């Protein structure tokens, strides 16, 4: 292993991953490390990645970022979850919120009470017992006001990069602009020693973070770390993205609409709407996908639609020798549950925790790689679930998703829920039981049983219990302002 002290950190790539890493390391290691970032204006960034999940708050908190300032800078809006249209079947919709439905009672989840209530004809739809779902569908939002909503953001990806760059440069990060032509390595150890730019300049360092996007210039091309594709489970391999003008106040949720061979996202920002079609190129041509997307956007198209190819899968290692890969260089599942920026955040914080300031050591590498892999396997299963458990028989794409083999870990989760109403969940997994329950019920997986403890509650008591929860949810939503009004008061951005 490399026993030298780490004094200089070099980040290759200046997309969301590169600047998140640069900002966080500069804030926390600025005193003990020289930090440089190399990016190429000519290559640019992937330019998508605009929906997030709640833990992003924490990342900003660790960097002392003011929330209104951040939201103004990125033309941000709030996100309470995802509205899934036509996923279960054509014309059938559900909401996957960041909140918890109902109230837990003792040892069993609320879904057990709801299932019994449903059998007895006492229960409303599951989402009506969830504050975040009800607020989202009524376009309401607030922070504070005695109501704690679990929320995330919609952000402009380009502006977020600029915002983070400001933090990083202010904290001492040196930016080098130019195309990396050669990754220099120590012939004996294979450790990376520097990045040679097209101009001839050599940016040397002791430790490197590969944030070069799908290229994986350091981790893949120089260090030869292989890639495991998930194409047998996740069939989408392409996306077309297009921004449109605003036609209505922004909804506090992402819209995900399933189509014949993929799905469409709609992400409302303050200054525009981000749209995209994620699709399988084996089932749809680019022209078909583009036409379907343009037929289904609202508002004037603001730029030429952009095609992005990707391969769902992951690197076999995320940390190898003196290099850690973050962002798309480390792999990509697909954007359905907006997990990619979160994985960058986790990668950055994990590397901060394990940072090898006294020299690279094998146990730290093993820990980083194992924890990252566990996290990704869990997210992978959650995403596959959306595709696999569907009731659509209208196209080959959906039939193939339904009949494909799935990972054993996911089969176990599905069967446990189907047969018992219980959720398989391990501490530390990103998607907590409330996420699984909402999506499992939403996709049409209704358990055969509920927990027998629920029968201890009489029918009248159960009816009152459910009605009380619903009433409280409604009362709290009534008190919330509209999403647009809250944005105007809290974080209105200047005109773009």
Ligand X SMILES: Cc1cc2nc3c(=O)[nH]c(=O)nc-3n(C[C@H](O)[C@H](O)[C@H](O)COP(=O)(O)OP(=O)(O)OC[C@H]3O[C@@H](n4cnc5c(N)ncnc54)[C@H](O)[C@@H]3O)c2cc1C
- H or E element, residue 349: helix 340-354
Cβ distance to ligand X smaller for residue 18 or 81: 18
Determine which one of 8, 61, 79, 464 is catalytic.
79
Based on the shown chain and the rule CB under 6 A, indicate whether residue 36 belongs to the binding site for ligand X: no
Q: How far is the CB of 335 from ligand X (least distance, A)?
A: 3
Choice from 212, 244, 251, 443 touching ligand X (CB under 6 A): 212
Residue 270 CA to residue 256 CA, distance in Å, equals 19
Dihedral sign, Cα of residue 41, residue 46, residue 47, residue 49: negative
Based on the shown chain and the rule CB under 6 A, indicate whether residue 222 belongs to the binding site for ligand X: no
Based on the shown chain and the rule CB under 6 A, indicate whether residue 352 belongs to the binding site for ligand X: no
The interface with ligand X within residues 88-147 (CB under 6 A) comprises: none
Q: How far is the CB of 374 from ligand X (least distance, A)?
A: 19
Based on the shown chain and the rule CB under 6 A, indicate whether residue 307 belongs to the binding site for ligand X: no
Q: How far is the CB of 336 from ligand X (least distance, A)?
A: 9
Q: How far is the CB of 52 from ligand X (least distance, A)?
A: 6
Based on the shown chain and the rule CB under 6 A, indicate whether residue 372 belongs to the binding site for ligand X: no
Query: 179: alpha, beta or left, given left = phi > 0 and alpha = psi -120 to 50?
Result: beta
Query: 217: alpha, beta or left, given left = phi > 0 and alpha = psi -120 to 50?
Result: alpha
Choice from 43, 65, 174, 354 touching ligand X (CB under 6 A): 43
Based on the shown chain and the rule CB under 6 A, indicate whether residue 83 belongs to the binding site for ligand X: no
Based on the shown chain and the rule CB under 6 A, indicate whether residue 179 belongs to the binding site for ligand X: yes
Based on the shown chain and the rule CB under 6 A, indicate whether residue 239 belongs to the binding site for ligand X: yes
Contacts 24+ apart (CB under 8 A), 463-469: 463/117, 463/120, 463/122, 465/113, 466/102, 466/113, 466/114, 466/117, 466/122, 466/123, 466/124, 466/129, 469/102, 469/103, 469/129
Choice from 24, 27, 33, 49 touching ligand X (CB under 6 A): 49
Based on the shown chain and the rule CB under 6 A, indicate whether residue 21 belongs to the binding site for ligand X: no
Q: How far is the CB of 218 from ligand X (least distance, A)?
A: 10
Cβ distance to ligand X smaller for residue 44 or 391: 44
Residue 86 CA to residue 394 CA, distance in Å, equals 11
Cβ distance to ligand X smaller for residue 88 or 266: 266
Q: Please check whether residue 38 is in contact with residue 197, taking contact to mean a CB–CB distance below 8 angstroms.
A: yes
Q: Please check whether residue 238 is in contact with residue 48, taking contact to mean a CB–CB distance below 8 angstroms.
A: no
Burial class (CB in 10 A: 0-12, 13-18, 19+), 257: middle
Stretch that binds ligand X, among 47-55, 109-117, 421-429, 460-468 (CB under 6 A): 47-55
Based on the shown chain and the rule CB under 6 A, indicate whether residue 174 belongs to the binding site for ligand X: no
Residue 335, CA atoms < 13 Å, CB-side half-sphere: 30
Based on the shown chain and the rule CB under 6 A, indicate whether residue 237 belongs to the binding site for ligand X: no
Q: How far is the CB of 422 from ligand X (least distance, A)?
A: 30
Q: Where are the strands (E) in 41-154, listed by range?
A: 77-79, 81-89, 92-97, 152-154
Residues paired with residue 197 on neighbouring β-strands, in sequence order: 180
Q: How far is the CB of 16 from ligand X (least distance, A)?
A: 4
Based on the shown chain and the rule CB under 6 A, indicate whether residue 308 belongs to the binding site for ligand X: yes
Residue 440 CA to residue 83 CA, distance in Å, equals 14
Residue 236 CA to residue 281 CA, distance in Å, equals 7
Residue 137 CA to residue 268 CA, distance in Å, equals 14
Choice from 9, 10, 23, 39 touching ligand X (CB under 6 A): 39
Based on the shown chain and the rule CB under 6 A, indicate whether residue 38 belongs to the binding site for ligand X: yes
Choice from 6, 9, 10, 15 touching ligand X (CB under 6 A): 15
Cβ distance to ligand X smaller for residue 329 or 440: 329
Q: Which of 454, 414, 415, 409 is nearest to 429 (CA)?
A: 409
79 catalytic? Reply is yes
Q: How far is the CB of 133 from ligand X (least distance, A)?
A: 20
One symbol per residue from 254 to 293: x for binding ligand X (CB under 6 A), - otherwise; what is it? ----------------------x-----------------
Residue 400 CA to residue 390 CA, distance in Å, equals 11
Compute how many other C-beta atoms are within 10 angstroms of the C-beta atom of residue 108: 16
Cβ distance to ligand X smaller for residue 236 or 410: 236
Cβ distance to ligand X smaller for residue 15 or 117: 15
Q: How far is the CB of 229 from ligand X (least distance, A)?
A: 15
Query: Euclidean distance between the first and final Cα of the chain, in Å?
Result: 50
Query: If DSSP codes are grouped into helix, strand and coil, which group holds residue 340?
Result: helix
Based on the shown chain and the rule CB under 6 A, indicate whether residue 216 belongs to the binding site for ligand X: no
Based on the shown chain and the rule CB under 6 A, indicate whether residue 16 belongs to the binding site for ligand X: yes
Based on the shown chain and the rule CB under 6 A, indicate whether residue 13 belongs to the binding site for ligand X: yes
- H or E element, residue 228: strand 227-229
The interface with ligand X within residues 310-339 (CB under 6 A) comprises: 310, 327-329, 335, 338
Dihedral sign, Cα of residue 280, residue 282, residue 286, residue 291: negative
Q: Site for ligand X (CB under 6 A): how many residues? A: 37
Choice from 46, 383, 389, 454 touching ligand X (CB under 6 A): 46
Residues paired with residue 331 on neighbouring β-strands, in sequence order: 314
Angstrom CA distances, 363 to 313, 335, 344, 347, 461, stand at 25, 32, 21, 16, 55
Which sequence positions are flagged as catalytic? Answer: 79
Give residues in contact with ligand X (CB under 6 A): 13-18, 38-40, 43-46, 48-52, 157, 179-180, 211-213, 215, 217, 239, 276, 308, 310, 327-329, 335, 338, 340-341
């Amino acid at each position: 292993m490399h026993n030298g002290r780490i004094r200089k950190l070099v980040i290759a790539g200046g997309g969301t991953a590169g600047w998140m890493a640069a900002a966080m390391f500069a804030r926390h290691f600025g005193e003990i490390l020289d930090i440089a970032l190399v990016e190429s204006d000519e290559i640019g960034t992937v330019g998508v990645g605009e929906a997030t999940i709640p833990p992003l708050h924490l990342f900003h908190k660790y960097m002392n970022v003011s929330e209104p300032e951040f939201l103004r800078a990125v033309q941000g809006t709030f996100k309470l979850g995802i509205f899934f249209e036509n996923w279960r079947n054509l014309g059938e919709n559900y909401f996957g919120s960041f909140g918890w439905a109902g109230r837990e009672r003792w040892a069993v989840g609320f879904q057990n009470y709801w299932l019994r209530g449903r059998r007895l004809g006492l229960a409303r739809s599951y989402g009506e017992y969830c504050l975040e779902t009800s607020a989202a569908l009524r376009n309401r939002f607030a922070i504070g006001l005695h109501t704690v909503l679990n929320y995330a953001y919609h952000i402009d990806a380009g502006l977020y990069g600029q915002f983070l760059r400001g933090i990083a440069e202010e904290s001492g990060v040196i930016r080098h602009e130019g195309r990396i032509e050669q990754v220099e390595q120590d012939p004996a150890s294979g450790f990376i020693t520097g990045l040679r730019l097209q101009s001839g300049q050599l940016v040397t360092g002791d430790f490197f973070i590969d944030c070069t996007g799908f290229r994986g210039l350091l981790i893949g091309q120089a260090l030869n770390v292989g890639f495991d594709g998930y194409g047998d489970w996740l069939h989408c391999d392409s996306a077309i993205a297009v921004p449109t003008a605003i036609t209505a106040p922004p909804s506090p949720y992402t819209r995900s609409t399933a189509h014949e061979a993929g799905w469409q996202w709609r992400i409302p920002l303050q200054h525009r709407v981000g749209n995209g079609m994620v699709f399988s190129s084996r089932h749809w041509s680019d022209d078909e996908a583009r036409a379907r997307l343009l037929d289904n956007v609202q508002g004037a198209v603001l730029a030429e639609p952009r095609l992005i190819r990707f391969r769902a899968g992951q690197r076999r290692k995320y940390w190898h020798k003196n290099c850690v890969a973050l962002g798309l260089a480390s792999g990509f599942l697909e954007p359905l549950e907006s997990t990619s920026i979160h994985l960058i955040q986790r990668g950055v914080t994990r590397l901060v925790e394990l940072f090898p300031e006294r020299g690279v050591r094998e146990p730290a590498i093993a820990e980083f790689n194992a924890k990252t892999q566990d996290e990704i396997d869990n997210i992978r299963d959650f995403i596959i679930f959306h595709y696999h458990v569907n009731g659509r028989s209208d196209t080959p794409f959906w039939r193939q998703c339904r009949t494909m083999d799935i990972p054993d870990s996911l089969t176990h989760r599905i069967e446990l829920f189907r047969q018992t109403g219980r959720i398989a969940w391990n501490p530390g997994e990103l998607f907590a039981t409330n996420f699984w329950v909402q999506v499992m019920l939403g996709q049409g997986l209704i358990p055969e049983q509920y927990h027998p403890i629920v029968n201890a509650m009489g029918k009248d008591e159960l009816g009152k219990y459910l009605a009380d929860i619903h009433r409280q949810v409604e009362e709290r939503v009534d008190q919330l302002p509209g999403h647009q009004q809250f944005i105007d008061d809290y974080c209105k951005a200047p005109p773009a």
